[in-house]
Structure 1
Amino acid sequence: MPAVAYPKKLLNDNESVVLDLNPHWRIFLGPFALLVIALALVVVVVVVVDQVDTVFEIASAIPLALALVWFVWRWIVWRSTHFVLTTDRVIYRSGVVSKQGQNIPLERITNVAFSQTVVERMLRVGDLRIESAGETGNQAFSDVLNPSIVENRIYSEIEKAKERDDMRAARAGVSVADELTKFERLRAQGTISEEEFQAQKARLLGQ
C-alpha cells in the first residue's frame, strides 16, 4: 500500500484502482548512507575525540543536518510519486510543489516490457517501459516495485478492458436488432410508412 492513496476524485466514472505504487525504497539508500556517515562523524567528534572546541563540534554537525534534510526531501518526493494502474489507464503522477502527470489509456498500449539487473532482481525493483500509440509514444518508468508483476497486471487489465468493450458492442448490436424488428413490425402493420421505416433503419445503423 502507498503512503498516501491516489485521490479517488481524479478517477473517471466507473474507474477503479488496481495498483497504486510509490517508488521502490532503494531511492533512500543514498541519503540514508550519508546520514549514517554524518552521524558517525558527529559521534567521533563529540564522544571519542577529547578537548575539541565548540566551533569544531558545530562544523561536524553540518553534514548531519544536510543529510537529514536530503533524507526528508527524498521521503516527500517518494510520498508524492504514484505509479497507478486502473481499469482504464496507466497513470504516473509526481511533483511536490508543481504536479506532473502522464496518462496512458489501456486501449492504446501496444507493448509492455521490464528490465532488471541481478541486484535489482534481489531487491525486487526494476524499470518498466510502456509503448503506446498516439502522442505518448514510449514511456520509461524507473524504481518500479516488482516490475514483472506490474507488467502481467497491465496485460491482464488490457484483456479485461477488451472483454468489456466486446460485451458493450454485443449489447448494442442486440439493441439495434430489436429496434429494427420493432420497426419492421410497425411497417407490416401499416403504422409507419416505408419511407419512415427506412429513415429509422438508417438512424439505427448510423448511415
Structure 2
Amino acid sequence: MAFPEDYLHPNEELILDLKPHWFRLVLPAGALVVALLVGLVVVLNEVHAVVNLAVGVLLIAAVAWFGVEYARWVSTHFVLTSDRVIHRSGIISREGIEIPLERINTVFSSQSVFERMIGAGDLVIESASTEGRQEFNDMRKPGSIQNEIYVAMEENENRKFDRIGRGGAPAPAAAPSIAEQIEQLDSLRQRGLISEEEFTRKKSELLDRM
C-alpha cells in the first residue's frame, strides 16, 4: 500500500515512502510456520480429540497474530517529502506525526551488530516542534535515511532563499569599475580630502589591477 499522494501539499514532492523493516514480521511468521507444521503432523497422525482442539486453537491464534502484525506493517508509513517528515500508523485508529524540515535540528541513527547485518536500525529526530524528540524503530538502512533527510533539509533551505529572491529582494550592487574608482579618488583630491601623494599611490595600485 503506497502513501496517498493526495495528502501532499501543492508543489510538495515525495522523496521516500518506507515501511518498517521486514524483521518486525519474523516472530509472527515463525509462529505461524510452527503452528502449520504441528497441524500437519496432527492431521497425518491419529491423536486424541483434545489434542486436535488445542492444535486448532494454536493455529487460529498464530494466523490471527500474523494477520494483525502484517496489517500494522502494511499500514505504517515513514515518508520524507521536500517539505516535511511524515509518520502514519494504525489499522482502525490512525496516528500521525508531521515534522517540517525547517524545524529539524538533529537526526541520529543507531544499529546493533545484528541490525547492521540485516540492514535495520533506529532513527531519532530532534526538532523544534511540539513533539521535540521522536524515535522510529525497525527502520530500513537508517544511515541512508539520515543522509536523505539532511539533503532534503538543504534543498528546502535553498528553495526558501530562491523564493525570497524572486519576491523582490534587492540584488547586490555591482562593484565600481577601476575608472570609476580613479574618478572618485580625483574628486577627493580636488576637495582636499586626500593628498597628491595618496592620490598618485592609490591610482597606481588601481592601474596595476587592470
Q: Which band: TM-score by shorter chain?
A: 0.7 to 0.9
| Matching residue of 1:132 | 127
Equivalent positions of 1:34-113 (< 5 A) are 34-47=31-44, 50-113=45-108
Alignment partner of 1:22 out of 4, 19, 24:
19
Partners of 1:108 and 1:89 lie apart in 2 by: 9
Paired amino acid for 2:24: I
Partners of 2:129 and 2:46 lie apart in 1 by: 68
> Is residue 178 of structure 2 the alignment partner of residue 156 of structure 1?
no
Residues 161, 68 of structure 1: alpha-carbon distance in 2 compared, 3 angstrom cutoff: same
| Counterpart contact for 2:99–2:129, Cα < 8 Å | no
Tell me how far 1:64 sits from its aligned partner: 1.3
Partners of 1:90 and 1:51 lie apart in 2 by: 56
Q: Which portions of structure 1, spanning 4 or more consecutive aligned residues, are displaced by more than 3 angstroms? A: 173-177
Q: Tell me the alpha carbon deviations over residues 53-83 of structure 1, each in whole angstroms, 9 at most, x when there is no partner.
A: 3342232121111101111111111111100
Identity of aligned residues (%): 44
The range that moved more, 108-117 or 163-172, is 163-172
SS of corresponding position for 1:61 = helix
Q: Tell me the alpha carbon deviations over residues 65-117 of structure 1, each in whole angstroms, 9 at most, x when there is no partner.
A: 11011111111111111000000000000111111100000000010010000
Q: TM-score, normalised by structure 1?
A: 0.78
Q: Tell me the alpha carbon deviations over residues 31-70 of structure 1, each in whole angstroms, 9 at most, x when there is no partner.
A: 11111221222223232xx442334223212111110111
Tell me how far 1:10 sits from its aligned partner: 1.1
Alignment partner of 2:3 out of 1, 6, 10:
6
Q: How many residues align?
A: 172
Larger Rg: 2
| Matching residue of 1:172 | 167
Partners of 1:72 and 1:44 lie apart in 2 by: 23
Task: Give the gaps of 5 or more residues in structure 1.
Answer: 178-207
Q: CA RMSD in A?
A: 1.7
Paired amino acid for 1:83: F
Paired amino acid for 1:35: L
Partners of 2:46 and 2:105 lie apart in 1 by: 68
